[in-house]
Chain A
């Protein structure tokens, strides 16, 4: 699971109102090389919840260089975009789980794939 995806996910456990962001408890994290595409990164930044991104990066132990606040005028700042690119697309949680911050319910991640299915009684 990449952190770009994580930034857009929320807990949908019945009754939960503050299900975002999901906490990441990773037991295996991989960093792959993915071709840098500044336009795509710039397009995604406005969709992101920045504080959730920083928190997520911290939870997987990859927050080096990532500024706590979004840098203004980032479209032309290639160095900044490269850092964001790495966090969004190159860091992957392979094993672990996502935890609902309100209910504590855990959604397992195996082979890089989160399982977001709720059980019958939670739906």
Chain B
């Protein structure tokens, strides 16, 4: 519970039923010896009432609490700091436009712990100093950190760090974080703001400032401007986790350094200080091959790679998920993006050290072939929209006649 952002709370269930009388029967059947240690005369307690999909008036809540009198509460009520909290939970269904008079189901139990859903609010991107077009929302960032089993004193790396949202979540769990990105301006926190009311980014907008905002600046290791297709790291197992959201080519372009044109150096062989290297399209298939290869070489044994894989529905099949002989696929979870695209959260774990042959594995075994999913993901993403657009044009042309 100290980690879960998906779980709201945990209760020890004592009784349940479709009506309050069913609940009462169920509770009276619950062995009293399991109840007594939480209800003895020197203890303090309070009862909370939670209603899902309905708002109850204060007096209604009190009525329900009083109705629980048939349980052997011997302790004293303390609203401010009870030792034990009991909860009555009423489920009024899932349709907010059709709220029933009586609950569909009722539960009663002892509250054990809350999950970390509060983090979604406290780390909300809305209040973060530095954001970009593709900053990952807080909830998903924490889920990714959990998938990667990030723990205190881990070393975590994000090769497509952008504005550092994933690093922020990891730092909350005590990991030391570093990242790289090919975009000079994002890494330095310069350029146009992604916020509606701001034109340009302010001086305190960068990844380090984000960590400072949440009190985790001490977990900040470094960020660098670097091309993920040309890694700059020593050939050794460094990272406990690699967590990233590679560009899909939709809101941020996919780039790598290099040029299609014939390379010719400037006459005197010296580039100007401000020279920005020419970039070419970084094909999606290569991004994932490189990412998996990089992870196989630079993760510690048992370390995890967690990343998003964009998928075009009509063509998706499980065989499209890239594999690598040194990484074991742990999970593959889908999030819908649009009617014909989604992205899948892939989790992999390093299970063996890479040998020479592994980089050529895709030639021998079709399971390890480079991700050919869709170099044209971008085209397909927009093609669905275009089809709808042209249909409407056709309709209006007909009506116009």
Contacts and interface: CB of A to CB of B under 8 A. Distances in A.
Contacts of B187: 113
Interface string A96-123: 0000000000001011111111111101
Contacts of A111: 188
A98 B284 CA distance: 31
Interface string B261-276: 0011100000101010
B277 A118 contact: yes
Contacts of A43: 153, 155
Contacts of B237: 47
B265 A10 contact: no
Interface stretch (B114-122, B217-225, B344-352, B387-395): B217-225
A115 B234 contact: no
A117 B226 contact: yes
A13 to B, nearest CB: 10
B318 to A, nearest CB: 34
A40 B153 contact: yes
A34 B259 CA distance: 42
B178 A37 contact: no
Contacts of B232: 9-12, 116
Nearest to B240: A43
Given A12-B230, A118-B277, A123-B257, A113 B176 contact: no
B91 interface: no
A44 interface: yes
A11 B231 CA distance: 9
Given A5-B221, A40-B176, A113-B188, A118 B227 contact: yes
A64 interface: no
Interface residues of B, number: 38
Given A10-B234, A40-B176, A120 B277 contact: yes
A53 interface: no
B35 interface: no
A65 interface: no
Given A35-B218, A119-B257, A8 B234 contact: yes
Interface string A13-27: 000000010000000
B182 interface: yes
A106 to B, nearest CB: 11
Contact of A9 (B234, B265, B278): B234
Given A5-B178, A40-B176, A121-B265, A116 B225 contact: yes
A28 interface: no
A2 B221 contact: yes
A3 to B, nearest CB: 10
A12 B257 contact: no
B236 interface: yes
B238 interface: yes
19 contacts: A5-B178, A5-B224, A7-B234, A9-B232, A11-B232, A12-B230, A40-B153, A108-B273, A113-B187, A114-B226, A116-B232, A117-B184, A117-B225, A117-B257, A117-B277, A119-B271, A120-B258, A120-B277, A123-B230
Interface of B: 152-153, 155, 176, 178, 180, 182, 184, 187-188, 218, 221-227, 230-238, 257-259, 263-265, 271, 273, 275, 277-278
Interface of A: 1-2, 4-5, 7-12, 20, 34-35, 37, 39-40, 43-44, 47, 49, 89, 108, 110-121, 123
Given A115-B225, A123-B227, 16 more contacts: A1-B224, A5-B222, A8-B234, A11-B232, A35-B218, A40-B153, A49-B234, A113-B187, A114-B224, A114-B226, A115-B224, A116-B232, A117-B184, A117-B225, A121-B265, A123-B277
